[in-house]
Structure 1
Amino acid sequence: MGDALRVSLLTTGITLLLTVGLVTPVAWLLARTHFPGKAVLETLLDLPIVLPPVVAGVGLLLAFGRNGLLGPPLEIAGIGIAFSPAAVVLAQLFTSAPFYLRTARAGFASFDPEVEAAARTDGAGGWAVFRFVTLPLAFPFLLEGLVLTWARALGEFGATILFAGSLQGRTRTVTLAIYAAMESDLGPALVLSAVMVFVAFALLLVVRVAAGRRG
């Protein structure tokens, strides 16, 4: 069980870092710009929210599996993604990042762009405006998005078991460990389930507090 907790904490931590680095600029772009096909792009980016996780796992296998679209080129380069810790991260990122995207996009659109324009008029550069004006104003939304993203990544099951498998110490996360324990020993499964319930409650409480501050 300790291995499962370690794998979950490591992979969800990496997922959060990737989400912040990759999704924040996209959320800002979608909130502040208009271009042809924007509605189609937003729909595609939101699609993992409504896709069954098993379907997401099949899609990741078709893209990155040994016989998938990108599998052979990656194998030639000596990179194997499927059934590795990297597969766990990809599964979590695919299924959870859209939650951060939605809240971050709402955060960047929640205040008047004239506030940023005023800062630029006062001589602030682009990065300074983003760091000292945009981020603080959108922060409650970003925090809420990160909490929801981490919770979704922590609870990911369907896509992970299909794309990454359940290898103890490598790809077996907490949810996969609960599933495996149910087949042999109910005690550890109940303990882990109780821990997950407590974590879920704590995360929802953080979201509620963040939403209250946002209001």
Structure 2
Amino acid sequence: MFSLSAEEIEVLKLSCQVATFSMIFSLIPALTIGWILARKEFWGKSLFETLVFLPLVLPPVLPGYLLLQVFGNQGMIGQYLAPLGLSLAFNWKGAVLASAVMGFPLLVQSIRLAIELVDQRLEMAAQTLGASAFSTFISVTLPLANSGILVGAILCFCRSLGEFGATITFVGNIAGETRTLPLAMYSLMQQPDTEPQLWRLITLSLSVAFFALWFAQWFHRYQKKQRGR
């Protein structure tokens, strides 16, 4: 059993903090967009879907560069946020934004598929009994889609945990501020005689991602068994 240094514990805490906030801040927009894609038909839907899922296929450095141009201290929006103390570039809050952008499509897709599997007749029955569309979504759709939503949230968390390209482009690799697990591993690879530390971080990263995904799959199977009774 290996012991972690204070620096490695700090990297792990920062990584989990960034991934958790990224997942939380993505959840409400992803639920909204996932429901729209699952339940609504409208002109331009294909274009809208393409824009939502585009970060999945872009080189990660590109979204990071675009974030820098928009939210950097001299960016289109960032220049107005900086005087208010809301600077996002080169700090952990910017790392949350970069990770959220890259993990958001995975969350939306999981939510969309989960909602599409919900029987619309149950939703219509609730509305026939007087429930509003929002009440139906909260009391019928969400409970029936919760396992798919959880899987999507954990996928978003794991994607955020492993985010590298957009993060290093937008917020840099600053120890104690933006150096998450992938950036810390990259830094160690550039230094001599750091293999033991590198393997500890690799083990940490694999362990957190493995147990998060394992829990998501276990919960999904558990929910299916409960509904099958």
Instruction: Note the C-alpha offset of 1:122.
Output: 2.2
Is 189-198 or 95-104 further displaced after alignment?
A: 189-198
Task: Map residues 19-38 of structure 1 onto 2, 5 A cutoff.
Answer: 19-38=26-45
- The alpha-carbon deviation at position 214 of structure 1 amounts to 5.0
What's the counterpart of residue 153 of structure 1?
A: 160
For 2:87 and 2:207, the matched residues in 1 are separated by 35
Compute the TM-score of the two structures, normalised by the length of structure 2.
Answer: 0.86
Counterpart residue type for residue 101 of structure 1: V
Q: Which residue of 2 aligns with 1:137?
A: 144
The one-letter code matched in structure 1 to 2:180 is: T
How much identity, in percent, do the aligned residues show?
35
Q: Which amino acid aligns with 1:27?
A: G
Return 143-152 or 104-113, whichever deviates more: 104-113
CA distance in 1, matches of 2:23, 2:156: 7
Equivalences, count: 215
Name structure 1 gaps, 5 residues minimum.
none
Please give the secondary structure, in 2, of the residue aligned with 1:67.
coil
Distance in 1 between residues matched to 2:219 and 2:58, nearest whole Å: 27
Counterpart residue type for residue 22 of structure 1: P
Q: Please give the residue correspondences for 1:102-181 in structure 2 after superposition, counting only pairs within 5 Å.
A: 102-181=109-188
Distance 1:204 1:78, change over 3 A: closer
Distance 1:127 1:68 in 2: 37
Q: 1:201 aligns with which of 210, 218, 221?
A: 210
- Equivalent positions of 1:47-66 (< 5 A) are 47-66=54-73
Where structure 2 has 5 or more consecutive residues not aligned to the other structure, the ranges are 1-7
Shift of 1:211: 5.0
Root-mean-square deviation (CA, aligned residues, Å) is 1.8
Q: Which amino acid aligns with 2:22?
A: T
The alpha carbon displacement at 1:141 in A equals 1.1
Task: Point out the more displaced range, 124-133 or 51-60.
Answer: 124-133
Give the secondary structure class of the aligned counterpart of 1:138. helix
Amino acid at match of 1:92: S
Q: Could you list the per-position Cα deviations for residues 158-194 of structure 1 after superposition, in whole angstroms to 9, with x for gaps in the alignment?
A: 1111111111221111111122223332211111101
Verify: 1:191 aligned to 2:188, yes or no.
no
2:4 is matched with none
- Cross-structure match for 1:16: 23
Structure 1 counterpart of 2:46, one-letter code: A
Q: Which amino acid aligns with 2:206?
A: V
State the partner residue of 2:46.
39
* Paired AA for residue 99 in structure 1: L
Residue among 62, 71, 75 paired with 2:78: 71
**Distance apart, 1:76 and its partner CA:** 4.0
Paired residue for 2:3?
A: none
Tell me which residue corresponds to 1:94.
101
Report the 3-state secondary structure (helix = DSSP H, G, I; strand = E; otherwise coil) of the residue aligned with 2:173: coil
